[in-house]
C-alpha cells in the first residue's frame, strides 16, 4: 500500500513540473493589479465608463484594477498594445468602443488589430443611442423640418463631429446619402469644440451621445430631434426615434465592451467574466449609466463577436461608399 502511494506520488511529480508556474498563477489570479487600457484621453466617453467600471471590477475581483490611457489613432494605439505588446495573462485588458472594431479596419491601411482573431470578449458593458442635435436657434423642431431646410436652394449647412471616422461621422454619412443632402462635414478634435460652435450657430447638426450636451439641451440652447436607437430612451421620453420620425434607416447604437488578448487562459477569462457580469447586472451600475445617457447592457462573448461582424458589414460599406479615410 505504501509502495503504491509512493509510486502515484512519484508519477504526479513530473506532471506538476510540466504544468509549471503558469498553471498555478492561473489558479490564484488575480495576484496583482489588473489594468484596463483605454485608447482615448481622460475625460472622454470610454474613459468615463472605464474608471467607475474599474473600481467596481476591482472590488469583485478582490484586487486593485486601474485605468491606463493610451490615446491615439481612434483607439488603435491602445488596441495594438494590448493585442501584441503584453502577455495574455488577464492582467492587461482593453476597453473598446464599437467604432474601434467596426470602423477603424476600414479607415486605416495599417496599425489596426484583427478584433475577431487577436482578442476574446469578456463582456459587453453599455449601449448608447445617439441623438440628432441642432441649435435651438435654427428654428426646426422635427427631423423632417431639418431635412427640408437642408434641401432648400442656396442653403449651406454644416455637420459637426468629434473626429473623422467616429460613429457620429459615419452615421451622418449614411444620413447624408439616404436623404441626398449636400451638407459639409467639419471634424473637430473632440466633441467639446464642436458643441461650442453649435451654440455659436456655426454648425447646424451634430449626432452624439446626449449626455455630452445634457446641460445645453435642458437650458433650451440645443434641441434633440430624434434618437437613433430602436426605442425611445427614458431620459428623453418625448423625443421620437429616427424610425418614428420617418427615417428608419438611420439606426445606430454606440456600445462598449471589455476584451482580453486572444490567448488568455480559459480559467482567467471565466473569473473576469463572472466578475464583470456581477458589476454590469447590478442596479447601481444601471442607475449610474442611466444618469449619463447610457444603458447598462451585459452581453455574452458570442454576442459581442457577432455584433462586430454584423456592424462591420454595415459601416464598412458606408465608409467605402463615402470614400472616408483617416490615414
Annotate 283-300 with DSSP letters as a single string.
HHHHHHHHHTT-EEEEE-
Sign of the CA dihedral with 34 first, then 38, 42, and 44 last: negative
Q: What is the pLDDT of residue 291?
A: 82
The residues pairing with 95 across neighbouring beta strands, listed in sequence order, are: 38, 258
- Give Cβ neighbours of residue 307 (< 8 Å, ≥ 6 apart): 98, 124, 255, 299
pLDDT tens for the chain, 327 residues long, are 444 444 344 444 454 455 555 554 557 899 999 999 999 888 888 998 999 999 999 999 999 999 999 999 989 999 999 999 999 999 999 999 999 999 999 999 999 999 999 999 999 999 988 899 999 999 999 999 999 999 999 899 999 998 888 899 999 999 999 999 999 999 988 888 899 999 999 999 999 887 778 889 989 999 999 999 888 888 788 999 999 999 998 989 999 999 999 999 999 999 999 999 999 999 999 999 888 878 888 999 999 999 999 999 999 999 999 999 987
pLDDT of residue 22: 52
The pLDDT of residue 311: 96
The CATH architecture that domain 131-227 belongs to is: 3-Layer(aba) Sandwich (3.40)
pLDDT of residue 21: 52
Q: Which three cell numbers stand for residue 277?
A: 457580469
| Spatial contact of 314 and 322, defined as CB atoms under 8 Å apart | no
Cβ-based neighbours of 29, under 8 Å, separated by 6 or more: 89, 90, 267, 268, 271
Looking only at the bridges linking them, the beta strands covering 131-135 and 222-227 are antiparallel
Tell me the domain boundaries of the chain.
33-127+254-322, 131-227
pLDDT of 246: 96
Give the model's pLDDT for residue 213. Answer: 82
Indicate yes or no: pTM above 0.95.
Answer: no
* Alpha helices in 180-300, H assignment, sequence order: 191-199, 214-218, 266-280, 283-291
Angle at which helices 45-61 and 266-280 pack, to 10 degrees?
Answer: 110
> Could you say which of 3.40.190.150, 3.40.50.300, 3.40.605.10, 3.30.420.40 is the CATH number of the domain covering 33-127+254-322?
3.40.190.150
State the pLDDT at residue 4. Answer: 43
Q: What is the largest CA-CA distance in the chain?
A: 98
Q: What is the pLDDT of residue 25?
A: 53
Amino acid at each position: 500500500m505504501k509502495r503504491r502511494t509512493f509510486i502515484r506520488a512519484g508519477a504526479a511529480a513530473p506532471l506538476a513540473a510540466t504544468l509549471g508556474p503558469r498553471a498555478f498563477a492561473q489558479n490564484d489570479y488575480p495576484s496583482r493589479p489588473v489594468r484596463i487600457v483605454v485608447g482615448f484621453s481622460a475625460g472622454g466617453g470610454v474613459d468615463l465608463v472605464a474608471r467607475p467600471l474599474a473600481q467596481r471590477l476591482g472590488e469583485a475581483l478582490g484586487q486593485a484594477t486601474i485605468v491606463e490611457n493610451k490615446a491615439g489613432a481612434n483607439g488603435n494605439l491602445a488596441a495594438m498594445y494590448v493585442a501584441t505588446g503584453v502577455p495574455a495573462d488577464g492582467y492587461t485588458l482593453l476597453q473598446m468602443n464599437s467604432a474601434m472594431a467596426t470602423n477603424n479596419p476600414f479607415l486605416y491601411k495599417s496599425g489596426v488589430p484583427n478584433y475577431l482573431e487577436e482578442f476574446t470578449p469578456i463582456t459587453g458593458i453599455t449601449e448608447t443611442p445617439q441623438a440628432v442635435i441642432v441649435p435651438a436657434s435654427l428654428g426646426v423642431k422635427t427631423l423632417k423640418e431639418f431635412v427640408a431646410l437642408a434641401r432648400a436652394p442656396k442653403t449651406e449647412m454644416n455637420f459637426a463631429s468629434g473626429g473623422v471616422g467616429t460613429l457620429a461621422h459615419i452615421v451622418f454619412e449614411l444620413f447624408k446619402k439616404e436623404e441626398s443632402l449636400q451638407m459639409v462635414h467639419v471634424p473637430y478634435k473632440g466633441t467639446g469644440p464642436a458643441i461650442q460652435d453649435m451654440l455659436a450657430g456655426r454648425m447646424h447638426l451634430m449626432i452624439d451621445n446626449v449626455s455630452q450636451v445634457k446641460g445645453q439641451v435642458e437650458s433650451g440652447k440645443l434641441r434633440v430631434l430624434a434618437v437613433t436607437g430602436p426605442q425611445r430612451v427614458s431620459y428623453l421620453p418625448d423625443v421620437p426615434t429616427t424610425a418614428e420620425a420617418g427615417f428608419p434607416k438611420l439606426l445606430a447604437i454606440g456600445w462598449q465592451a471589455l476584451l482580453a488578448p486572444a490567448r488568455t487562459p480559459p480559467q482567467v477569462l471565466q473569473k473576469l467574466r463572472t466578475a464583470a457580469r456581477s458589476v454590469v447586472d447590478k442596479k447601481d451600475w444601471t442607475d449610474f449609466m442611466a444618469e449619463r445617457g447610457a444603458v447598462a447592457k451585459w452581453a455574452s462573448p458570442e454576442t459581442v463577436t457577432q455584433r462586430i461582424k454584423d456592424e462591420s458589414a454595415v459601416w464598412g460599406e458606408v465608409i467605402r461608399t463615402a470614400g472616408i479615410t483617416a490615414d
